[in-house]
């Protein structure tokens, strides 16, 4: 039986040394430390991690709690410092567009890019095999199987390698770990000032926020989910139905969003967007639109902000093409009393979400709340 492909200590050091992104480093170190399945890694949420107890909770059919090594805690902590502020509760999220849970394809891409830079033949299975071998060096097969969430006989194919190792020894702090890339000073700081539990972001708004959205929970949730999937939304309905209230609630849901009260006049809207996206640029009313747009589109934004525009149906036909280019670059949520034919080329960019009038009972509840 061929022994499963795995990484040596030197390979681990080499692989981690080429990774600059804290998220990618945290992903790989966590797998090397715990041996979790790919599906389990994807489903991890922020509240799955307890840095104070140094453990992580794995849900699913192999539900269990696993201890975290110091390198894993350090890697996750560094990632949480730069993790986008988002309502998304997943531990590992995308870094482009609206943050959302990493997919199997995304994680495979992370690993293969690092492997290519390190000139190694590595995929997720190789990294998990490495974690299993490292675990078998420290504990007996029965305990290892329990921690890995597998049957004891699933580890038989690793038996030849584990048999070559000396009897399992308790893992000590003094033991050299190829995953521990912290400097000596950083190790001391981590001992003196242990990493605290991260502050969890708010989940997508389900009920009242600072804006009154009684009766609009479903609309708000649908809009939030669409934005998280990088889909632009058009809230439609008659005047006074509550479209603007939903838009304001979305601004509350996405703190980094840009709220535009009207697309007319158009230049102030562009200036407002540029001020948020490229604050170092100085533009005025005299600056050509093309110059402002070039700065907006070339800005190196880790997470493109959500642009919220009230009364988009007031947009002038002459500005339609520019507006379409903005929807290609950013997720946009807009309101409109209708979809005038003069802007028919623009509307296909949006997913329409009608805002229906409230029923009598909900209206009474709303009035009661306001009074």
Whichever domain contains 235, its CATH number is 3.40.50.300
In a domain, 211, yes or no: no
Instruction: Assess whether 156 and 225 both reside in one domain.
Output: no
Same domain (yes/no): 173, 242: no
Determine if the pTM surpasses 0.75: no
Three-state SS at 63: coil
Let me know if residue 212 belongs to a domain: no
Q: Of 215 and 337, which is predicted with more confidence?
A: 337
Give the span between the Cα atoms of 99 and 87, in whole angstroms. Answer: 9
In a domain, 202, yes or no: no
The residues facing 233 across adjacent strands are: 333, 351
Domain ranges, residue 328 = 217-370
Q: Are residues 31 and 178 in the same domain?
A: yes
- Which of 102-116, 192-206, 208-222 is predicted most confidently? 102-116
The domain total for the chain is 2
Residue 35 sits in the same domain as residue 96: yes
What is the predicted pLDDT for the residue at 213? 66
Q: In the numeric block, which tokens belong to residue 59?
A: 């849900």
Question: Rg (Cα) of the chain, in Å, rounded?
Answer: 26
How far is it, in rounded angstroms, from Cα 161 to Cα 123?
20
Most confident of 24-38, 191-205, 243-257, 355-369: 24-38
Q: How would you classify residue 216: left for phi > 0, otherwise alpha for psi between -120 and 50, otherwise beta?
A: alpha
Q: pLDDT at residue 23 above 90?
A: yes
Closest CA to 97 of 272, 199, 206, 226: 226
Mean pLDDT of all residues in the chain?
82
Q: What is the pLDDT of residue 60?
A: 81
Q: DSSP state, 279?
A: T
277 & 172 share domain: no
């Amino acid at each position: 039986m061929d022994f499963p492909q795995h990484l040596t200590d030197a390979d681990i050091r080499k692989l981690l040394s080429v990774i600059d992104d804290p998220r990618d480093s945290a992903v790989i170190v966590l797998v090397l430390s715990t041996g979790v399945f790919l599906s389990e890694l994807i489903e991890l949420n922020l509240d799955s991690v307890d840095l104070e107890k140094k453990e992580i909770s794995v849900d699913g059919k192999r539900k269990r709690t696993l201890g975290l090594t110091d390198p894993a805690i350090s890697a996750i902590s560094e990632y949480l410092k730069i993790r986008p502020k988002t309502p998304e509760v997943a531990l590992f999220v995308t870094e482009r567009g609206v943050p959302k849970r990493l997919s199997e394809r995304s994680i495979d891409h992370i690993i293969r890019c690092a492997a290519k830079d390190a000139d190694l033949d590595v995929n997720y299975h190789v990294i998990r095999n490495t974690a299993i071998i490292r675990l078998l060096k420290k504990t007996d097969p029965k305990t290892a199987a329990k921690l890995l969430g597998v049957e004891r006989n699933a580890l038989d194919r690793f038996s030849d390698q584990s048999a070559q190792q000396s009897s399992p020894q308790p893992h000590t702090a003094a033991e050299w770990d190829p995953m521990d890339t912290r400097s000596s000073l950083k190790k001391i700081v981590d001992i003196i000032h242990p990493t605290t539990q991260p502050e969890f972001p708010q989940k997508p708004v389900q009920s009242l926020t600072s804006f009154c959205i009684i009766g609009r929970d479903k609309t708000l949730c649908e809009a939030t989910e669409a934005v998280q999937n990088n889909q632009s939304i058009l809230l439609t309905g008659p005047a006074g139905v509550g479209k603007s209230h939903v838009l304001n609630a979305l601004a509350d849901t996405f703190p980094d969003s840009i709220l535009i009260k009207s697309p007319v006049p158009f230049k102030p809207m562009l200036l407002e967007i540029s001020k948020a996206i490229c604050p170092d640029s100085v533009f005025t009313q005299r600056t050509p639109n093309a110059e402002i747009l070039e700065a907006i589109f070339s800005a190196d934004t880790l997470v493109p902000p959500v642009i919220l525009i009230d009364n988009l149906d007031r947009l002038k036909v002459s500005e339609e093409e520019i507006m379409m280019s903005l929807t290609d670059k950013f997720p946009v949520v807009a309101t409109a009393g209708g979809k005038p034919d003069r802007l028919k080329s623009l509307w296909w960019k949006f997913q329409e979400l009608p805002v229906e009038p409230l029923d009598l009972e909900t209206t009474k509840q709303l009035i009661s709340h306001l009074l």
